Amino acid sequence: MAKTKIGVVGCGGRMGRMLVAEIAATAGCTIAGGSEAPDSGYVNQDIGELAGLGRIGISIGQTVDKLMRDSDVVLEFTSPTATAEHAALGARLGTAMVIGTTGLSPEQGDVVREAARSIPIVWAPNMSLGVNVLLSVVEEVARRLGPDWDIEIMEMHHRGKIDAPSGTALALGQAAAAGREVVLEQVEQRARDGITGPRRQGDIGFAALRGGDVTGDHHVIFAGAGERLELIHRATTRAIYAKGAVRAARWVVGRPAGLYGLKEVLGL
């Protein structure tokens, strides 16, 4: 069988390099190429050398259009603005995508959803297999415990993360809301400061911590009268996201146009 040709947009970043290395290490996959911004300093470098694989004879380009034409599927872990632009481009070119970018605005999210009407896209705020199992567990626990239990979601990431709460924390909130059959935006409590008054029953609270080099910790707390249930996932390496992304890339090629998540990839 032909190998799946996978391209990496933004291949010079920390995550991009891990994605390239994971593609190279995965049977049935081949590196189609990578792209970077013209002023990044990575253009024309050998993508294998940059990812620590040694020279493989593929130079990093600056044109996402060409990368998409050369790939069966592209991995997109860049910025919200770039992701929206690349999703629209992928729709025009007919190239499948795996998107792991977080922090998209509602308008940027709409661009991705519109693109998914033309191409298959796996879009997940967290590509970790463990986190995606946790999402299913949180939804089920929220359904079974009911509104008498308070739900708080706490996350911690490295000092350089620019969005808060994390996309994963929000996804966990969405899972809890789905379990309760409510709309998250109507019950979320993103911050507390000063005299806030008592907690409203049914709220889903969020707390975001930043510091050090924490890859990603997520705690979902169900607090009831006289007891507390805590579900925790800790990531110790970003390589887990690369593994999940490449698995999603292999799965999405050849699928009908549509917006998918890791839930579909894993068959949950």
Residue with tokens 């997940």: 124
Q: Which single residue is written with the structure tokens 């415990």?
A: 145
Residue linked to tokens 């994971």: 22
233 part of the active site: no
Q: What is the largest CA-CA distance in the chain?
A: 64
Q: Is the backbone peptide bond immediately before 147 cis, with ω within 30 degrees of 0?
A: no
Q: Choose the catalytic residue: 5, 66, 86, 157.
A: 157
| Contact status, residue 63 vs residue 9, Cβ threshold 8 Å | no
Q: How far apart are CA 85 and CA 189, in angstroms?
A: 31
Q: Return the closest-CA partner of residue 164 out of 124, 133, 208.
A: 208
For 249, the token pair is 């890339």
Considering only CA atoms, give the Rg of the chain: 19
Q: What is the DSSP string of 156-219?
A: EE-TT--SSS-HHHHHHHHHHHHHHT--HHHHEE----SS--SPPTT-EEEEEEE-TT--EEEE
Comparing C-alpha atoms, which of 212, 214, 265 is closest to residue 238? 214
Q: Is 244 helix (H, G, I), strand (E, B) or coil?
A: helix
Give the rounded distance of the alpha carbon of 45 from its chain centre.
27
**Which of 224, 225, 176 is CA-nearest to residue 204?**
176
161 is catalytic: yes
Give me the catalytic one of 3, 161, 219, 263: 161
Report the catalytic residues: 157, 161
